[in-house]
Chain A
Amino acid sequence: MATEVVEVEGHIIDSLILAKILDTIVDAGADYRIVDVQIGRASTDTSRARIEMVGDDDVLTTLVSRLQLHGANRVVDVDATLQACDRDGVLPEGFYSTTNLATEVRVHGRWIEVENPEMDCAVVVDNVGGVDGGHARTTPMHRVRRGDHVVVGLDGVRVQPLERPRGANPFEFMASEVSSEKPKEVLVAEVADRIRGCKDAGGKLLAVCGPAVIHTGAGPDVARLVRKGWVDVLFAGNGFAAHDIESNVLGTSLGVLLREGRPVEHGHSNHLRVINEIRRRGSIAAAVDDGYLTGGVMYECVTHDVPFVLGGSVRDDGPLPDVYTDVVEAADAMRALVPGVSVSVMLASTLHAIATGNLLPAGVETFVVDINQAVVTKLADRGSHQALGIVTDVGLFAGLLADSLCP
Chain B
Amino acid sequence: MCPPEHFGVLYEINPWMHHRVPVDRERAHSQWEQLKRTLEQAGAQVEVQEPRPDLPDLVFTANAGIVNGSQFVPSRFRHPERQAEEPHDVAWFESHGFTVEHLPEHVHHEGAGDALPFGDVLLSGYRFRSDAASHAYLSRLTGAAVRSVELADDRLYHLDLTFCPLDERRAIVAPDGWDAYGRKVVEALVPEPLVLDLDETLAFCANSVVVGSTVVMARCPPAVGRRLEAWGFDVAVCDVGEFLKAGGACRCLTLALDVTVGPQGARSAGPGGRSADSSTPS
Contacts and interface: CB of A to CB of B under 8 A. Distances in A.
A14 B126 CA distance: 15
The interface residues of chain B, by DSSP majority, are classed as: mixed
Report, as a range, how many residues of chain A touch the other chain: 10 to 19
A46 B124 CA distance: 14
B282 to A, nearest CB: 24
Given A15-B185, A16-B181, A71-B126, A46 B149 contact: no
Contacts of B2: none
A11 B181 contact: no
Interface string B114-134: 000000110000110001110
Interface stretch (B7-15, B139-147, B226-234): B139-147
A225 B145 CA distance: 62
A7 to B, nearest CB: 10
Interface string A1-39: 000000001111011110110000000000000000000
Contacts of A46: 136, 139-140
B150 interface: yes
Interface in A77-110: none
Interface in B158-189: 179, 181-182, 184-185, 188
Contacts of B136: 9-11, 46, 71
B185 A71 contact: no
A20 B179 CA distance: 10
A73 interface: yes
B147 A44 contact: no
Most buried by A among B131, B133, B179, B262: B133
Nearest to B181: A16
A20 B178 CA distance: 13
A8 to B, nearest CB: 8
Nearest to B135: A10
B148 interface: yes
A228 interface: no
Most buried by A among B121, B148, B184: B148
A163 B203 CA distance: 54
B143 A70 contact: no
A14 B148 CA distance: 9
B261 to A, nearest CB: 10
A71 B181 contact: no
A160 interface: no
Interface residues of B, number: 27
Most buried by B among A12, A15, A44, A71: A15
Given A20-B181, A43-B263, A71-B126, A15 B149 contact: yes
Contact of B139 (A16, A20, A44): A44
A14 B147 contact: yes
A69 interface: yes
Contact of B135 (A11, A19, A43, A69): A11
Contacts of A15: 135, 146-149, 181, 185
A70 B126 CA distance: 8
B120 A43 contact: yes
Contact of B132 (A14, A43, A44, A69): A69
A309 to B, nearest CB: 55
A71 B145 contact: no
Contacts of B185: 14-16
**Which 10 residue pairs are nearest across A and B when measured between Cβ atoms?**
A71-B132, A15-B148, A10-B136, A71-B133, A16-B181, A9-B136, A44-B145, A20-B181, A10-B135, A15-B147
26 contacts: A10-B132, A10-B133, A10-B136, A11-B121, A11-B139, A11-B145, A11-B147, A11-B148, A14-B147, A15-B147, A15-B148, A15-B185, A16-B184, A16-B185, A43-B120, A43-B121, A43-B145, A44-B139, A44-B144, A44-B262, A69-B127, A69-B132, A71-B126, A71-B131, A71-B133, A71-B136
Given A11-B136, A17-B181, A69-B132, 11 more contacts: A9-B136, A10-B135, A11-B146, A14-B188, A15-B135, A16-B184, A17-B132, A44-B145, A70-B126, A71-B131, A73-B133
Interface of B: 120-121, 126-127, 131-133, 135-136, 139-140, 143-150, 179, 181-182, 184-185, 188, 262-263
Interface of A: 9-12, 14-17, 19-20, 43-44, 46, 68-71, 73
